[in-house]
């Protein structure tokens, strides 16, 4: 049985940063991922990373923008930590090799981004996430003697001992089909978000809420789950992300009358208001008949106002996406976009060191909820979140491991999970296919749990999810092999997604107000008196989510009306 002081699940930015930080604290570290680390979804983060680097900037300004962006649901102590440590983290990335673009003086160039009061987004063209992810992986290769890598291993469950502490995981080697128990003094979940609960989504096929559901099943609370970010610019054809960097570089949003409609809802920041505000404005235009495209469900993103040369240099990826997937030269004509599911602000509840309420279990990145994003995340704060809290989790988990004995683990969990996999493979072909259920889940969530929500819609979504859970228990797969059996993993992931979607809908039903990404047409106002608090969902005895609340930490910024 492999044993490690710190075991990290997921090898995106949070996971890799945690691994490197833990290794520097002199403990034995392993990182495990169901895909090769450079296939992690962090690779899709395009626009950049926020940090108050500019001499005229201040971390407090960054923190205030973040608090305001969160619609005052973010915990300000955590936001302060993130924003204060941001410049140092970005400089660290620069030193280990990230190829941040420079200004004419050779310093880091900073671009404008949504909800920010100053240019503070460092970037690498529009492949910032990819560049950072690959550089961290370079560092993992450099430190391969102190960080073990389990690439293409799928975690099936967390192991909780009799005292309620997390002491390891069960995982399946995707390549061979072998299943194994891993003992660890500390486990860090860094397994990413839940985008695949929605269809369409900007998220990769791997973003199946694994870590959220694993923690939830182990008894950890999920917080702010109702807060689902719809990105204002996803390609109408297929939901691909068109980076906010486009608007950062100056692109306009236009309705069918050629009007820059953002002047109505955000007269100062216009297209660079926070994402919830822009997505709502777009959806309003569409709902009121001013949308564009064949079905009237799109909005024009006009990048032609950006100098062509600048677009070709700084927005290379979306030039290609436009050409390859929409047949549009974005430097010559507007492209049709729409709001699309992009990010989940909620996740496994943690403190500022990544600790969850379960002893020995940490979480960092999109899987976690510290909460620095509250009701709405600012663009270019997600990379920062992964790195700051990935590092802090790694450091804390390592320190904890130094004073913790090696856990002793039975093979109960291993046998249970092996049996579960056998059971899935053996299912008769009488039920529904896994892929059909996933499809219905995605379209249901996108219909009722999107930019605008209401009680009846959410209630029907909840019932659908409950029904799908029952159907999923009998859903069949085609592949019964052992080598690279993605089918059986898909069935397990479906279970993760359904558990997580259930908590999302339950929390959205619970919050009878409008704040950040949650806009209830039946409760259209923010209601600080009743709802300036986090909603936590915990798995109840009957398997349904149980709701509880926790306070929002306010340090120096009192809630006020949000204007952009």
Partner 1 sequence: MDGVIVVEPMGNMPVIKDLIVDMDAVHWQKIRSVTPWLINREPVPEREYLVAREAMVDVTQSMACIQCGACVSDCLAMEVDPEFVGPAALAKAYRFVGDPRDDEPFERLRHLAENPDGMYSCTHCFKCVDACPKGVNPMGQIMRLRRIAGDDYKIEDRNNGYRHEQAFVKNIRANGLLHEADLLPDSYGGKFHPRAIPELLASLPVVIRGLLRRKITPAKALLHPHKAPKPLQAIFDQIESEPKRYELNLYVSGDDKDNETAGAVTEGAKR
Residues that bind partner 1 (CB under 8 A): 36, 38, 43, 91, 94-97, 99-109, 124-125, 127, 130-131, 134-135, 138-139, 141-142, 151, 175, 254, 257-258, 292, 300, 302, 304-305, 307-309, 312-313, 316, 320, 331-334, 481, 483-484
Q: Is 308 a catalytic residue?
A: no
Q: What is the DSSP string of 429-498?
A: TTS-BHHHHHHHHHHHHHHHSSSSB-HHHHHHHHHHHHHHHHHHTT-B-S---STT-HHHHHHHHHHHHH
Residue 414 CA to residue 432 CA, distance in Å, equals: 27
| SS3 state at 83 | helix
Cβ-based nearer residue to partner 1, 186 or 331:
331
The one catalytic residue among 120, 172, 231, 373:
231
Cβ-based nearer residue to partner 1, 95 or 429:
95
Cβ-based nearer residue to partner 1, 260 or 474:
260
143 burial class (0-12, 13-18, 19+ CB within 10 angstroms)? Answer: middle
Cβ-based nearer residue to partner 1, 109 or 161:
109
CB of 16 within 8 A of CB of 390?
yes
Side-chain-facing half-sphere of 281: CA atoms under 13 Å: 25
Per the DSSP assignment, residues forming a β-bridge with 122 are 49, 110
Cβ-based nearer residue to partner 1, 108 or 505:
108
Q: Is 474 a catalytic residue?
A: no
| SS3 state at 423 | helix
What's the min distance (Å) between Cβ of 26 and partner 1?
A: 20
CB of 158 within 8 A of CB of 166?
yes
CB of 490 within 8 A of CB of 433?
no
What's the min distance (Å) between Cβ of 125 and partner 1?
A: 6
Residue 304 CA to residue 175 CA, distance in Å, equals: 47
Can you give 391-418 as a three-state secondary structure string?
A: HHHHHHHHHHHHCCCCCCCCCHHHHHHH
Residue 21 CA to residue 26 CA, distance in Å, equals: 9
What are the C-alpha distances in Å from 539 to residues 75, 374, 393, 497, 507? Answer: 23, 22, 24, 14, 13
Cβ-based nearer residue to partner 1, 307 or 456:
307
What's the min distance (Å) between Cβ of 517 and partner 1?
A: 28
455 burial class (0-12, 13-18, 19+ CB within 10 angstroms)? Answer: middle
CB of 171 within 8 A of CB of 149?
no
Cβ-based nearer residue to partner 1, 226 or 302:
302
Give the H or E element holding residue 148. strand 147-151
What's the min distance (Å) between Cβ of 485 and partner 1?
A: 9
What's the min distance (Å) between Cβ of 307 and partner 1?
A: 5
What's the min distance (Å) between Cβ of 161 and partner 1?
A: 34
The one catalytic residue among 41, 62, 172, 247:
247
357 burial class (0-12, 13-18, 19+ CB within 10 angstroms)? Answer: middle
CB of 160 within 8 A of CB of 219?
yes
- Max CA pair span of the chain: 67
543 burial class (0-12, 13-18, 19+ CB within 10 angstroms)? Answer: exposed
CB of 226 within 8 A of CB of 204?
no
What's the min distance (Å) between Cβ of 127 and partner 1?
A: 6
Cβ-based nearer residue to partner 1, 252 or 275:
252
| SS3 state at 160 | strand
- Residues 6 or more apart in contact with residue 403 via CB below 8 angstroms: none
What's the min distance (Å) between Cβ of 175 and partner 1?
A: 7
Per the DSSP assignment, residues forming a β-bridge with 545 are 539
Q: Would you name the residues annotated as active-site residues? A: 231, 247
């Amino acid at each position: 049985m492999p044993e490690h002081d710190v075991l990290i699940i997921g090898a995106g930015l949070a996971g890799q940063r945690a691994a490197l930080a833990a290794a520097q604290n002199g403990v034995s570290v392993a990182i495990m991922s169901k895909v090769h680390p450079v296939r992690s979804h962090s690779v899709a983060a395009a626009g950049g990373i926020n940090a108050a680097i500019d001499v005229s900037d201040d971390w407090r300004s960054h923190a205030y923008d973040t608090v305001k962006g969160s619609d005052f649901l973010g915990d300000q102590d955590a936001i302060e930590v993130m924003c204060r440590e941001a410049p140092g983290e970005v400089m660290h990335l620069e030193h280990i090799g990230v190829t941040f673009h420079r200004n004419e003086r050779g310093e880091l160039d900073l671009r404008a981004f949504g909800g920010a009061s100053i240019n503070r987004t460092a970037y690498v063209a529009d492949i910032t996430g990819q560049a950072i992810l690959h550089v961290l992986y370079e560092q993992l290769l450099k430190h391969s003697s102190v960080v073990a890598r389990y690439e293409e291993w799928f975690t099936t469950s967390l192991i909780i001992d009799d005292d309620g502490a997390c002491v390891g995981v069960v995982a399946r080697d995707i390549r061979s089909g072998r299943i194994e128990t891993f003992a660890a003094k500390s486990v860090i979940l860094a397994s990413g978000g839940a985008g695949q609960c929605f269809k369409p989504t900007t998220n990769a096929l791997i973003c199946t809420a694994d870590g959220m559901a694993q923690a939830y099943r182990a008894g950890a609370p999920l917080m702010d789950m109702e807060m689902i970010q719809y990105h204002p610019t996803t390609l109408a054809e297929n939901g691909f992300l068109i980076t906010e960097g486009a608007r950062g570089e100056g692109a306009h949003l236009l309705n069918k009358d050629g009007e820059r409609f953002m002047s109505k809802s955000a007269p100062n920041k216009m297209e660079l208001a926070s994402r919830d505000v822009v997505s709502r404005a777009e959806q309003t235009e569409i709902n009121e008949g001013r949308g564009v495209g064949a079905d009237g469900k799109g909005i024009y993103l006009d990048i032609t106002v950006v100098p062509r040369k600048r677009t070709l240099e700084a927005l290379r990826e979306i030039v290609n996406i436009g050409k390859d997937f929409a047949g549009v030269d974005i430097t010559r004509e507007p492209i049709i976009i729409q709001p699309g599911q992009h990010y989940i602000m909620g996740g496994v509840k943690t403190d500022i060191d990544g600790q969850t309420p379960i002893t020995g279990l940490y979480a960092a990145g999109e899987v976690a909820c510290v909460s620095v994003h509250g009701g709405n995340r600012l663009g270019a704060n997600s990379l920062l979140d992964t790195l700051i809290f990935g590092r802090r989790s790694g450091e804390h988990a390592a320190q904890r491991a130094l004073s913790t004995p090696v856990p002793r683990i039975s093979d109960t969990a291993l046998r249970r999970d092996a049996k579960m996999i056998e059971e899935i493979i053996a299912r008769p072909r009488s039920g529904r296919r896994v892929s059909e259920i996933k499809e219905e889940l995605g379209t249901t969530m996108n219909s009722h749990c999107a930019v605008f929500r209401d009680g009846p819609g959410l209630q029907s979504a909840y019932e659908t999810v409950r029904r799908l859970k029952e159907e999923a228990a009998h859903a069949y797969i085609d592949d019964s092999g052992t080598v690279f059996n993605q089918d059986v993993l898909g069935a397990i992931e479906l279970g993760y997604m359904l558990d997580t979607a259930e908590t999302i809908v339950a929390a959205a039903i619970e919050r009878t107000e409008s704040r950040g990404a949650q806009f209830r047409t039946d409760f259209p106002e923010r209601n600080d008196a009743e709802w300036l608090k986090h909603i936590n969902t915990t798995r109840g005895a009957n398997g349904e989510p149980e709701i509880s609340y926790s306070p929002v930490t306010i340090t120096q910024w009192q809630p006020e009306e949000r204007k952009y």
